[in-house]
Amino acid sequence: MLTKRIIPCLDIKDGRTVKGINFLDLRDAGDPVELAEAYANEGADELVFLDISATEERRKTLANLVKRVAEKVNIPFTVGGGISSVEDVDILLHNGADKVSINSSAVKNPDLINELVAKFGSQCIVVAIDAKRIDGMWKVHLVGGKVPTDLELFQWAKEVEERGAGEILFTSMDHDGTKNGFANETLARLSTELNIPIIASGGAGNMEHFIDTFNEGKADAALAASVFHFKEMEIRDLKKKLQDHGIPVRL
């Protein structure tokens, strides 16, 4: 059985790590380079670095910061935010990223997924999907959750897989920062209907939530931010707890 992955997420704004609730009310969580190095040393399986204001401000992800983070870590490192071309991805990979995450640009130009997969390979391309329940349907949102679309989550996720993406990072905006647990019913449906790995995001508050998302949500990986940033749990302790519950992890 494949091991389940624990992935700290560093949301970056103005060069600092930030964290909010339901994508709002951001507060400072520290220096991204220091945090990345600490997580790599604590046993994180991967890191995700999202420049959350890059798309909104129509500027490119901070390649220099990516380089500084990559110099400090020895685990796979995914970078997202403002990526809209083959050239953008090329720059990030040359600065040390192992994968890239695209979101708004993929919705606006779905062919971009095909282009990036053809150039860099499926294993390199993660499509992030931020969605919120509206009138009983999961609707995809863009630009850091600020712009709703008519796209339905499961329909879009299937198209993303068909276009060759290697993974989907699904964030439930309803659960984000609430610490009430992941959207496990929705994650389980995604995992059942798709053949590519699903990364769970949004809602981690305690170790049981991680156990639940791997067992009930059938997630391949679980991403969290504030519980790690503010030292509410240590990654090594979390992994030991997961192992005690029969969930395969890399210790």
Sequence spans of domains, the chain:
5-244
User: What mean pLDDT is predicted for residues 8-14?
Assistant: 82
Mean pLDDT of the chain, nearest integer: 89
> In the structure, what pLDDT confidence band is assigned to residue 23 with cuts at 50, 70 and 90?
very low
Top pLDDT among 197 and 11 is at: 197
Interval 138-159 mean pLDDT: 92
Q: What is the pLDDT of residue 15?
A: 65
The pLDDT of residue 18: 64
Residue-level pLDDT at 133: 94
What's the average model confidence in pLDDT over 164-182?
A: 93
pLDDT greater at residue 22 or residue 107: 107
Percent of the chain scored above 90 by pLDDT? Answer: 69
- Can you give the pLDDT at residue 59? 46
Per-residue pLDDT, 145: 76
Range with lowest mean pLDDT among 33-37, 41-45, 100-104, 195-199: 33-37
Catalytic residues: 11, 130
From the options 3.40.50.2020, 3.20.20.330, 3.20.20.70, 3.50.50.60, give the CATH code of 5-244: 3.20.20.70
Q: How far apart are CA 43 and CA 241, in angstroms?
A: 14
| Cβ 241 vs Cβ 211: under 8 Å | yes
As a whole number, mean pLDDT of residues 5-12 equals 90
Range with the largest mean pLDDT of 13-27, 41-55, 73-87, 201-215: 201-215
> Contacts by 32-39 with C-beta closer than 8 Å and gap 24+?
32/65, 32/69, 33/65, 33/68, 33/69, 33/72, 35/8, 35/10, 35/229, 36/10, 36/69, 36/72, 36/73, 36/77, 37/72, 37/73, 39/8, 39/73, 39/228, 39/235
